[in-house]
Structures are given as C-alpha cells and as structure tokens.
Amino acid sequence: MNTVYPNPKIEILPEHIIDQIKAGEVLERPASLIKELLENSLDAGATEINIHIVENGLDLLSIEDNGHGMSFENLPYAFLRHATSKLKVYEDLYHLQSFGFRGEALASVASSARLTCTTQPTNLNEAGGKLIIHGGSQELLIPYQSSTNGTSLYIKDLFYNTPARLKFIKSKVSEKSALKKMLYAFVLSNPQTLFSIKWDDKEKEIFKIAPADETQKRVEQVFFSKALKGINSEIWTATEYYQDYKVEVYFSPVTSSTPQYRHHYLFANNRFFQDKSLHLSVLRTLEPIWRFGESGHYMVKITVPAEEVDVNVHPNKTQIKFLKSDVIYSLLVTSLRAALKKNTGILPSSTSTFTAPTSYGSNPQTQFFSREENQSFDLMHMNFSEKKLEVENTQFHSSSPILGFISTSIVLLSFEEQFFVADIRKIMASFISSSLLNFIKNDELSGPLLISEPFKIPLGKIDTHFEDLKDLGFDLDRLNSDVIALRTLPRFVSQNISRDIMTCLLNYFQQTKIAKFEIASFKSYLESNWPITSPLPIHTLTQILENNEVKSSALILLNDKNLKSLL
C-alpha cells in the first residue's frame, strides 16, 4: 500500500542549525576546541596564555591571552561563520604560518555553548568589548576597556545547546589524555610563550618562557613536570639538515611502561601531527636504549618548505603529507643515531680514520663517522627496504668471481676457468683512477648527496684544493674552522666506499708536495694507502671487478709459469 506524503517543503536551514552541524566537526571533542582557541591566541601574538579546564572542558574551558585583541567593532564579526581575518588568497592554504583559516571555530562554539568573551585591542585608547552568547543567541554586547591588551574566553557548558552530542564524548580518561596531549603539544612548540594550565581546582602548572634557542628547557619542563625526584631527567638531542629541510630530535633515555606518562610528539613547521610510520621509525631507531616493550619521551621537530607539505588531508589537520618523505625519514633516523652516538657511543666505533698532519691546528687525530653510521645514509638510497638488500647479496654471491681471501689484502679470483690473484689496493687504485679519468674526460656530472656528509678536518692546505676536488666531482664546503661537508659525489662512487675515497683524497691533497692533482700520482698513492682494515662488501668488489681496466691492470694470472716462479 502506498502512503502518499504531501510534498515536503524544502527549507533553507537556519544559520544557527548549520553552525551546530559544523560544531560537530570543530567540536568533535574538547581537545579540538582547545586547539582552535590556542591557535587563535598564538595567531594574535600572545606571549602569555592562561588556561583553566573544569571537568575535561565540558563544564568550563577558559583561556586568557595577552594578544592583540579585537576592537569593539570587530568583536561580533569574530563569531560569524566564515569570519576570518586570515585567509586572503587560496595559496594561503598551503602556508602553515597562520594556524586557523576556516573562520568557523568561534561561530561553532558560540552556537553550542554559553560563552563570554572580553577583549582589549593593543591600542589601549581604543575600546574593546564584552560579548555574551548563549546557544547561538546574543545576550550582551557592550564596549569594554581594560588596562592590558588581550582576549579572554569563558566557555561554559560546551554542549548546552546540543545535549545529544554530550553522549558521544568519550570516557573521561581518554578525554583527559586527548586534552593533555593537545595542550602539551602547544606548550612544546611555543617555548617563547608562557603557559599556565589549571585542571579543576588543582594547582596551576606553569611553563615559564624558555630563553631563545633553548627549546630543550621547555622540553624538560614538559617531559619531567611530574617526574619523581631521583629519576634521570636527561634529554638527548641532535639536529640534521638537508637543503631547506631540518629535523630536530629530543628524547629521554629513561623509559616507562605506563602509556599516560609517555610524551610522543611530532611537529611539522611547528604544527603538531600524527604519523604512525614516523612514530615507529623513532621506536625502532631507539630500540638499543629503550627497554623492550617500553618507551621514553620524544619530540621530533621537522622543518620543511611550506609548499612541500599538505596539511589538508584530514579535517582535524593532525595528519600531514610530505612531498619528500624519504628525506624526512633519513634525516629523522640520522639525527636519532647521532644523538645516540653522542651520548653513548653505542654505535660501533669508527673504522676509517683520517689523520691530519700535526701542523694543521690543535686537532691532529680526528675521526670520521663509522661505516655503521653511514648505513642510515645508505638506507635512504635503499628506501628502507632491507629485503632488497638481501636479494642483491645472494644475486652477487652466485655470480661472483671471488673465491676467497689469501690474506686481508690478497684476493683469489676465477674468470673463465682461469685463476687470478690480486691486491685489493691495486684493484681499488686502478678502479678509482680509471673512473676518475673517465669522469674528467667525459665531463660527467656528480650526484648530490641527499644528506651532506661532514668531515672533521681543520682549516688548512686542503681548503686551497676545493676547486680541484670539485673538478673531480667532490664538492666540498667549509662549515666552520673544524668541519667540512661533502655535497656531491661522482656517480661511480658507491656509498660504501665514499668515506674511504674521500679519506684518501683528503690525505693525498694534504701532502705538502702536491700542487696540482695528477691521476698517476694519485693512483700510486692509492696503491700504498687504500685502507684495507675495513673489508669491502663482496657485492661492491664484484661490481668493481667488472671494470676492464681493473681486470687488465690489477689481476695476476695463476698459470704454470707464474706459479713456478713463485714456488
């Protein structure tokens, strides 16, 4: 049977209903609201923010700031939907400098809660205002003047007008931890702002302004605000750069098994976000010091060019997409490892050592990074796929002419059913010199390193040879009086021999008698100085042995005649 309904009248939804629907998006939970409010205060240039939260924000959420405030005329506009003073052009969406751009937070909360806002603009002669809104209807709007600039918002009964939504609010425990996470994220990323946070009628937690360049102070305040006396409250930190990219890591060596007491934060351009695989990378890299099944506190601050991140992938904007995520991963892992190295020396120690002549400065014995450290460097070229590495290895093993080593420097080989011996130093000298010759002759390009490699080597003769080295494909930059950075490598140089080649080149140029680079003299230098203390991976050596120049100049055929003369 058909029931005939009268044609439903299509009505345009009243504005305040639209706002309530929107409120559901913005005010999914008190933590999202506090985020919007803190962003507004920071956008207004606040250096002091006082927060009071009662009943996890459901009862009262108050925030007072000393930002630039609003004039009496502007105040009501702040509570209109799509009212924003921030979004000017579409491109602004791609820039992270200003936090809010939807112009909906205040309108949404005004439609739902009971709210009072008082504000005083920076120009103290100008009137600010006081505005009261209850569930979308304006109760009061009067001019108001104060002796200090800033804005205060008191939000009572967050779901006053939408009681159904109250039911959807998660359990109080999870609500509290979400709020805390959000608050501490702001506290951490704004060390130049004083925050005071009061929960219910408990004592205020105060985070004093940390001096410029002392993010670490703020990190300590947050990580160890509740720490018991006697606990190790150390923080390990390191920073790595690549072009306009920067990754700073801060973490505690101590761990805890209680999730509530762990602080885990990722920031991109000072914006808090969540990313499971970056989080797992942190845990995996810190495995050597964090007890199994536990973790310590960490904060990772990523700086990327604004146009290389996409923040609009999620309505709550806590997820971020990076254009060059491989750069982020390698910088993250490298910096974590650098911090580990700095504080423990856990990583295997250096295998190749560069000895600068004593006449160059006070630092005669300087050490390069170890091969193990370079693995993070290798990793980024492998895109972190360890599987690929294994496959490559077995492949090379089956077709390798290498039968074994007679000593650390002499290798036994077999090509087309003939046997050969060769000195590793000769092999490398021949490979490197012929490759360099090709590089120069063919005007080949060198490849940029994703992360430039630092070498500790004091200012001196080497600096006069930067041009020569550049011609050879090794582009170097002096960072300070002690450290130079390698920016490019010729393509024939694989990652696992780059350190040794650089070491040899630097040592070669440091010799007082070298005025100009000569292939032949460098070749003979390599023949007696190539480091054989750190054995080459078989697959690298196999590849090198494919070079015809190497075959014809470094291999000695083991035939009857040769053997007779040996025996």
Q: Which residues bind ligand ADP (CB under 6 A)?
A: 36, 40-41, 44, 65, 67-70, 78, 83-86, 100-107, 151
**Residue whose CB is less far from ligand ADP, 73 or 477:** 73
- Assess contact for 32 and 26: CB atoms under 8 A: yes
**Which residue's C-beta sits nearest to ligand ADP?**
100
Distance in angstroms (rounded) separating the CA atoms of residues 189 and 248: 12
CB 153 to Mg ion: min, Å: 12
Binding string, residues 34-73; x marks residues near Mg ion by CB under 5 A: ------x---------------------------------
Q: How far is the CB of 157 from ligand ADP (least distance, A)?
A: 19
Name which of 26 and 235 has its Cβ closer to ligand ADP.
Answer: 26
Smaller CB distance to Mg ion: residue 89 or 566?
89
Roughly what angle, to the nearest 10 degrees, separates helices 386-399 and 371-382?
100
Q: How far apart, in whole angstroms, are the C-alpha atoms of residue 120 and residue 107?
A: 20
Alpha-carbon span 206 to 210, nearest angstrom: 12
Q: Which is nearer to ligand ADP, 70 or 489 (CB)?
A: 70
Question: Of these partners, ligand ADP, Mg ion, none, which one is at the site of residue 101 (CB under 5 to 8 Å by kind)?
Answer: ligand ADP
What minimum distance in Å lies between the beta carbon of 19 and ligand ADP?
11
State the binding partner of 102 from ligand ADP, Mg ion, none, CB within 5 to 8 A by kind.
ligand ADP
Residue nearest to Mg ion (CB): 100
Tell whether residue 401 is a contact of Mg ion (CB under 5 A). Answer: no
Q: Which burial class, exposed, middle or buried, applies to 382 when counting CB atoms under 10 A from its CB (0-12, 13-18, 19+)? A: middle
Strand partners, 405: 411
Q: How far is CA 66 from CA 79, 333, 455, in A?
A: 19, 39, 47
Q: How far is CA 376 from CA 123, 271, 333, 495, in A?
A: 54, 26, 7, 11
Which residues between 482 and 521 bind Mg ion (CB under 5 A)? none
Residue from 34, 70, 105, 489 touching Mg ion (CB under 5 A): that is: 105
Q: Which CB sits closer to Mg ion, 85 or 122?
A: 85
With the CA atoms of 196, 199, 203 and 205 taken in that order, what torsion angle do they form, in degrees rounded to the nearest 10? -30
Q: Of how many residues is the chain composed?
A: 567
**Part in contact with Mg ion (CB under 5 A); list of ranges 62-70, 93-101, 173-181, 348-356:** 93-101
Q: How far is the CB of 63 from ligand ADP (least distance, A)?
A: 8
Number of H helices, E strands in the chain: 17, 24
Give the C-alpha distances (Å, rounded to integers) separating 97 from 47, 101, 144, 196, 269. 17, 11, 31, 24, 8
CB of 255 to Mg ion, least distance (A): 37
Q: How far is the CB of 72 from ligand ADP (least distance, A)?
A: 13
At position 20, the amino acid (one-letter code) is Q
Which residues of this chain interact with Mg ion, rule CB under 5 A? 40, 100, 105
